[in-house]
Structure 1
């Protein structure tokens, strides 16, 4: 495969301005591009090499907002961001941090790994996590049995 780099995550939003304010205020994103579409617009937000693309919703959500760490049916579960300190990040977000699960310590798996999940203004689940590290020698795909 030719050079491959992650590009962005697209979110369809009932209230794109509310979502934009949330991710700019609490996660440090800034506007990178605005594209007019009909009477609306698509907004690209950027933080370092990470982009969020915000689309205006044209339909009503068919399901209720997810709970906990995200939906458990097939699909995207949550967005995740690494932070230096989960508790400090939650304190900074304050009342806007609608915690759906946690904080939880995963010291039994990785010493120092701590995570909390919260809902953005439209119920999308966002994970904030500190202390995650890769496994030194994870089993390779060829060595993983099929279910």
Structure 2
């Protein structure tokens, strides 16, 4: 049996608060991702209504399903920004979500740059939301690494 220099209970323990930077970036990211979910729901519901309410499966999967994912990501980012003990699986999912939003922004910038400045487009919300989520996770990771170095496992 192998042992790790870090005990498993130390992985979820944060010896200090996440810090002001992580809190601010997490909340900003959560607000922008929640706004993206609201815009996505509204635009897709309007398009679904114009299509005579026909493609139910597409609407439920790509319309409401992606909006639910955006709301869950926003909730996770907000909870991370206020938690004394961050949950690292949630932090990993928030970081991956932030990276996907950054990739979405790059794709929008390449294909249709006008969507980057439209309030009803995904670009405006992804430009701020994606990097904010990634910065929150990086700040939390740096805080955790610093805490582990200050208080090594015995």
> Does TM, normalized by the shorter one, top 0.5?
no
By percentage of residues, which structure has more helix?
A: 2
Compute the TM-score of the two structures, normalised by the length of structure 1: 0.26
